[in-house]
Amino acid sequence: MSHVRIFDTTLRDGEQSPGFSMNTEEKIRMAHQLAALGVDIIEAGFPIASKGDLEAVLAVAKEVREVPIAALARARKDDILAAAEALKPAKSPRMHVFLATSDLHLQAKLHMTREQALEAIGSMVKLARNLVAEVEFSAEDAGRTEIEFLCQACQIAVDAGATVLNLPDTVGYAVPEEYAEMFLKVREHLGDPEHIILSAHCHDDLGLAVANSLAAVRAGVRQIECTVNGIGERAGNAALEEVAVALAVRKESFGIATKLKLNELYKSSRLLTQITGAQVAPNKAVVGANAFAHEAGIHQDGIIKNPLTYEIISPEAVGVPSRSLVLGKHSGRHALRLSLTELGYDPNDAELAECYRRVTTLADQSKQVRARDLMTIAHEVMRRKAVPVASEAAPAV
Ligand code: KIV
Ligand code: ZN
């Protein structure tokens, strides 16, 4: 397979976490941006969860035609019917059916035996396949499922018509070697059929979601489920921008990358923060305000001489505004306000005064204040303000 598919679940697993829920209009706006980013599939919601979510999935399926749309369903008839209804307008629909397979989940949560679980997987994947052309099966808590039983469950899902098999580390418990090993064993059990795509879905409880997803790619996984800014249940999901940039920057090591337009990453991150009001941490990889800011004198000196000294990713490549601002100690407050407005900020007089003080201090030290330095300053001074999407077009990678 030529590339690693990006299954974006910002609008489902992402919005499922406290403080991140989105209404229909917001989901549509975000879905259009995800399409511009070039994701391979958008999971738009969990239609049985609420009437609002069913309507949101319907609306996204109607409005966003250029990307396949997925909807989530438990392995239950009502869920599957609701998801099928929501997916009706989609040009390329995918039903995402899941059932937990770990003994812990089966016994404590579902009160099901393994035999009952296998029966439900077979019959519900078959039902979904009769309603929608493409079916993905997820073995929830696969990371803590006994491997022989997991292989059995996967075989039954494939026999019932699933063509994508997702093996989530639902609770973020796995470590990279272990997670990769699980995929190798399942692949071997299935006989590595060409038409089956294996998929990784990792949570970040131990801060390993991206590392685990990348390890899965080395084990033959060709779909990664992830979210913009890494939002999602508890500590979140694998961050889409980190997965994509890691695969791109280390392409010689992985031998495969995504098809994303990386210069849309920053804009996607900003749109999400604008919609949800939740800012990313300044030190967040790829899209954080400090990701391309250099404060230490030695680093600044290196960057001026050759950016490769301290930057493995160019800010332009991921769409971070990098235009050199001619902001220096001679610049006035008017130019500063204009530059801040261009970056999407709307400072009051006190904030402007504080930004001015910091800009002139920095200008004294390094002569030039670039857009990304200004963004760091603006973020620190106005951290509680939602930041609108940067409209600047970025050059291609
Ligand atoms: O984390 C998980 O197991 C999930 C499934 C529903 C795919 O989100
Ligand atoms: Zn999840």
Answer yes or no: is the C-beta of 170 below 6 A from any ligand 1 atom.
Answer: yes
Dig out the tokens for 7 from the structure: 């299954």
Digit-coded pLDDT (tens) for 251-267: 999 999 999 999 999 99
What is the distance between the alpha carbons of residues 258 and 6, in angstroms, rounded to a whole number?
7
Answer yes or no: is the C-beta of 201 below 6 A from any ligand 1 atom.
Answer: yes
Closest protein CA for atom 5 of ligand 1: 140
Pocket test residue of 201, 223, 226 for ligand 1, highest count of atoms within 8 A of CB: 201
| CATH fold of 5-276 | TIM Barrel (3.20.20)
pLDDT tops 90 at residue 230: yes
- Are 182 and 215 in contact, with CB atoms under 8 Å apart? no
Closest protein CA for atom 8 of ligand 1: 13
Ranges for all domains in the chain classified under CATH 3.20.20.70: 5-276
What is the distance between the alpha carbons of residues 24 and 52, in angstroms, rounded to a whole number?
8
Separation of CA 295 and ligand 2 centre (Å): 37
H-type helices in 219-348, by residue range? Answer: 240-249, 251-254, 265-276, 297-305, 333-342
Ligand nearest to the CA of 72: 1
Closest C-alpha among 128, 197, 209, 142 to residue 172: 209
Q: Which numbered atom of ligand 1 lies nearest the CA of 225?
A: 7
- Are 289 and 375 in contact, with CB atoms under 8 Å apart? yes
Name the 3-class secondary structure at 203.
strand
Separation of CA 227 and ligand 1 centre (Å): 13
Dig out the tokens for 320 from the structure: 């971070």
**Which pLDDT value is given to residue 395?**
29
pTM: 0.85
**Which pLDDT value is given to residue 391?**
38
**Which pLDDT value is given to residue 367?**
64
Q: Which numbered atom of ligand 1 lies nearest the CA of 171?
A: 1
Closest protein CA for atom 7 of ligand 1: 138
Answer yes or no: is the C-beta of 138 below 6 A from any ligand 1 atom.
Answer: yes
Mean pLDDT for the chain overall: 91
pLDDT tops 50 at residue 143: yes
- Residue partners of 371: CB distance under 8 A and separation at least 6: 321, 322, 323, 324, 325, 339, 343
- Residue partners of 120: CB distance under 8 A and separation at least 6: 75, 99, 112
Digit-coded pLDDT (tens) for 296-342: 667 767 777 788 888 899 889 999 876 444 566 677 788 788 788 87
